[in-house]
Amino acid sequence: MGDTFVWLTGHAGNWNDPSNWVELSGTRSVSELERLGPFAPNSVTADRAPGAGDDVVFPAITVGGPVTGGGAADTVVLAPDGGAVTLAGTGTEHYAFRQLFVGETGSNLVLSNALLDTQATYVPDFAFLDVSSGAVGTDPDGRPYTASLGALTLEAIPGASTPGLPPGGRLILGDHDVDVTSLVQGALGVGNSFDPHADLIGSGAIHFPAVVSPAQPFVTVSPFSAYSLSVSGRPPALDHLDFGTIHVGESETLTFTVTNFAGGAALPLIGAVQTAVNDGHATDPALSGSGVTPGNFYLPPDLVQQEFSVTLTGDTPHSLDSQAVHLAFAIGSDASGITLPITGTVVEAAPPPPPTEIDWNALAAQVTANFEATGQWFL
């Protein structure tokens, strides 16, 4: 196991220069690392610089300038309220960590003209990781990238707030691309507040490994089986819900199904039913059900599906005017969706059927026949 290294207060310079570090024996937990420091400039410096098996701490407000030269570590932690730490290079340097914890509120990590590779990255509420000025390299799948962030978590703690800051840990991309193996966005929001770009700032893309297929949303009128797919391919896609005409006093329910059509090692499909944004407009009180109730859904791959119902209740005569539900999907850093118009008309209650006329001659013949057979005049 490695040792723990703490960056010296006020120092800036080469990661690989031992004079910038204080070396402590043994490794520590993340919570212990967050409590270390600060260390004064006259502290005893390390005998060596940290390496791939060591833990590294940047304590609160320690860096007077950028860290340069590239470097490696096991766990890197920016202490809470640690200010901004810049990992800089000349275009080819790598900073390679097993896991990276970007402190808490006010702790920000900036990548400047260098590449960053981690197996796991954690950015908590009101902190940010800025890769917008990083270098550009080529990832193992042949795509341009600036940072490979592994399992990326942009946390948003429910109920947390800081004046002037949106909730959630932020990834500032600019026009640079990053690779991830998974992505958790704590500030995605629910229902009408669902935002696939939550806390992703800029036009850059988030790439998953090429062997991992993206989620494939598909919306159909009713559930379908893998057998029917193998025989006939995909069923017809649903593009609207039409109730036709119903009468006052009647009700009718239609359903639609959202399926993650991807299989194997594909990503889960995360999405939301929206009724007041993105062309969603479900305001008619005659409509009810899960299909017109804002909320999120989570569908693993391999044809996992969820059914939603929409009920039209005929209380008063009227037409459904401009009603629609929007289904929003988050697929990595991409956003997509489908809007389903809802049409139909409620008309006055159907008139009762006219009374049936009595055929007195036929009734008399029936009574006579019964008397002859039974001796009774009544049927």
Interval 146-166: pLDDT, tens? 999 999 999 876 656 555 566
What does the pLDDT read at residue 82?
62
Average pLDDT, integer, range 167-175: 88
Instruction: Return the residue matching tokens 């070396």.
Output: 23
Please give the model's pTM, rounded to 2 decimal places. Answer: 0.77
Measure the CA–CA gap between 341 and 310, rounded to whole angstroms: 12
Positive or negative, the CA dihedral 186, 192, 197, 202 is: negative
The band of 238, judged by pLDDT with boundaries at 50, 70 and 90, is low
The band of 228, judged by pLDDT with boundaries at 50, 70 and 90, is very low
DSSP letter for 48, please: S
Reference 58, options 123, 119, 112, 7; nearest CA is 7
8 A C-beta contact, residue 177 and residue 200:
no
Strand bridging mode 151-154 / 115-123: parallel
- In tens, the pLDDT along 90-102 reads 999 999 999 999 9
Q: What is the number of other CB atoms lying within 10 angstroms of the CB of residue 7?
A: 26
8 A C-beta contact, residue 78 and residue 85:
yes
Question: Regarding predicted confidence, which is higher, 54 or 159?
Answer: 54
What does the pLDDT read at residue 163?
59
- Mean pLDDT estimate for the chain: 85
Measure the CA–CA gap between 171 and 165, rounded to whole angstroms: 14
